[in-house]
Chains A and B, each alone.
Chain A
Amino acid sequence: MIWETIRLSLLSVRRNVLRSFLTLLGIVIGVAAVIAMLTIGSGTTEKVKADISKLGSNLLVVRSGRPAGPGGPGGLDQATRPLGSKELAALIAHLSGARAISPASQKQVRVIFGTESLTSGVTGTDSAYLYARDWKLVSGRPFSDSETRSGTGVCLIGETVRQQFFGAGDPEGEIIRVNRTSCKIIGLLEPKGYTGFGQDQDNVVLMPLAAYQRRIAGNRDIDSIYVAADDRTPTNELLPRVEDILRDTRRITPDREDDFSIRDMTQIADAMASATTTMTGMLGAVAGVSLLVGGIGIMNIMLVSVTERTREIGIRLAIGAHEKHILIQFLVEATVLSLLGGIVGILIGLALAGLASLTLAIPFAPSPAVILLAVGFSALIGMVFGFFPALRGARLDPIDALRHE
């Protein structure tokens, strides 16, 4: 009986291919939009999470200047005192729960090798930096402690720098010019690709902090201090300890606010992930509205179908169909119709998401749960919006229905 009914409804869809297609357009577009958006959305979330974890997880970044917030943007404060070796030394001496503490000062600088040149992010730091940021070397070695202390002209380069100057060749031992100084390449960093903000993380040169300060920055300031938490210490516990030590070192009285900021990369990662989730949710709601429109389309076409087939309903009732048989017939038809639209919509949505993941370089992350939900939802729309027309058909008087032209 039920298979018979499903077969019947597929037949009636086939008889009116164009009309069925037009009717289903609402459902198709709605489902396709939902699937595409949710799939692209979860791909984006994954990408953002991956990007942030590239920045370093469980990482605190200390900068001078008041934290961004109601007090104004950080770092633009006139009275900003830069960070220096005093703060670094205090953290190394007193902070517990840190896996690595490392200074970093940065600048975009012209780097030259032979006749080639490239503007790179040059960072002055120490050997703990690689450890703090979880960066690895493909070849060569990090700075030694004595190189860090004395500010020897050595450096580590990223993949983009290597490709620019040496192609596929081995850069180790070569001398490059960085601004007015030169340094010997002692290692190559593992490629990390672009961040979600379009920044090339491989266009970098690392050199000992002392060398950077003396030959590039011309001062003894430290732009930022990276503090990586160890496995047992959550960053939100580590953060107040860092704050205490720094306030102490910088002699900030309790009545005054911090003149430095501490950013928690874990929190930023979470915030960004939840921002994309919110956006996905909102887009999902928009798509939901188009599904509602699709449902009204189904209702409309089922009303037309019931009217067109009034005589058929009369015949069926005359030869012994019960109300429920007619009701089920049209409900199944609406559901099959709506499901067909849903399935087509899912395929189109996945295709769109696939295309988007190729062009936006985000992972293609279709969720079986979402697909199942879309199938269930489109079936539900058919049932809900098909119910009223089906009931109308089932309630027809057989004599009137038979007389209908």
Chain B
Amino acid sequence: MSGSVLISFDKVWKSYGQGEARIHALAGVDLAIRRGEFVAIMGPSGSGKSTAMNIIGCLDTPTAGTYRFMGVDAGRLDRNRRAMLRNLYVGFVFQGYNLLPRTTAVENVELPLIYRGVAARERHDLAMKALAEVGLVGREHHTPAELSGGQQQRVAVARAIVTRPTLLVADEPTGNLDTARTHEIMELLTRLNTGLGLTIAMVTHEADVAGYAERTIRFLDGHVAADTINLEMA
């Protein structure tokens, strides 16, 4: 189900520090992800996975090399233009959920729509719909503190998809969840990938989680060490 190229890294470097202390989180990465792909990114801690994800999600820019998102040279856009790209085309799911505390589920999900200038009534309707899609009917007015980890991550997924993005960036989305909750979230992501054609880039440490994806990219010391098609589904 691969379409046109959505994401491409051309010799992307990301370096921190100066002189002796200079480290390269990414050291000349080349990779491409097509529309509709579900890609798992694996690799040891410190291998540059999160750095790559931040660039993919237009949160960060490369130190050198070219990052293209939807054919746009996103690595050279200014802050506000990248914010616009994120708002229009990217949804984020983080390991730590990152919901606003003391704010209800539906208000959390409405948040990206606020920055799109969607009217209050429509915002509410769309948020309620997104919460229904992730199976949280009846929990709309709970605050994060009143929800379990799995439920909070579902709210985060609803917030990521409420804008109908092209790309979902998920950095260790199941890292804080138990096995049962992990599989629920992975089934949800798989459904979004197949049902909506959502492109997903997901970091994980667990092979069975990676197994939900159709392709696995392995990072090692800021390089792509392996890029394989997953033959069998978990």
Contacts and interface: CB of A to CB of B under 8 A. Distances in A.
Interface of A: 1, 4, 15, 311-312, 314-323, 325, 398-399, 402
B59 A398 contact: yes
A255 B99 CA distance: 93
Contact of A320 (B54, B100, B115): B115
Interface stretch (B28-36, B62-70, B80-88, B218-226): B80-88
B60 A321 contact: no
B115 A315 contact: no
Given A319-B86, A320-B87, A323-B83, 15 more contacts: A314-B98, A315-B98, A315-B99, A315-B111, A318-B86, A318-B98, A319-B87, A319-B111, A319-B112, A320-B112, A322-B79, A325-B115, A398-B59, A399-B60, A402-B98
B116 A320 contact: yes
B102 interface: yes
Contacts of B120: 4
Interface of B: 54, 57, 59-60, 79-80, 83-84, 86-88, 91-92, 94, 98-102, 111-112, 114-117, 120, 159, 163
A381 B152 CA distance: 39
A402 to B, nearest CB: 7
Contact of B111 (A311, A316, A323, A399): A316
Nearest to A5: B114
Given A399-B54, A402-B94, A323 B60 contact: no
B83 A322 contact: yes
A322 B83 CA distance: 6
Contacts of A320: 83-84, 86-88, 112, 115-116, 163
Contacts, number: 56
Contacts of A15: 102
Contacts of A321: 83, 87, 115
Contacts of B54: 399
Given A312-B100, A398-B59, A399-B54, A322 B94 contact: no
B97 to A, nearest CB: 10
Contacts of A319: 86-87, 91-92, 111-112, 115, 159
B207 to A, nearest CB: 27
A402 B99 CA distance: 11
Contacts of B114: 1, 4
Given A316-B111, A320-B112, A1 B117 contact: yes
B83 A317 contact: yes
A379 to B, nearest CB: 24
A161 B92 CA distance: 90
Contact of A318 (B59, B84, B88): B59
Nearest to B89: A320
Contacts of B83: 317, 320-323
Lowest 10 A-B CB distances belong to which pairs? Answer: A320-B87, A319-B112, A320-B115, A320-B86, A322-B80, A321-B115, A322-B83, A315-B98, A318-B92, A398-B59
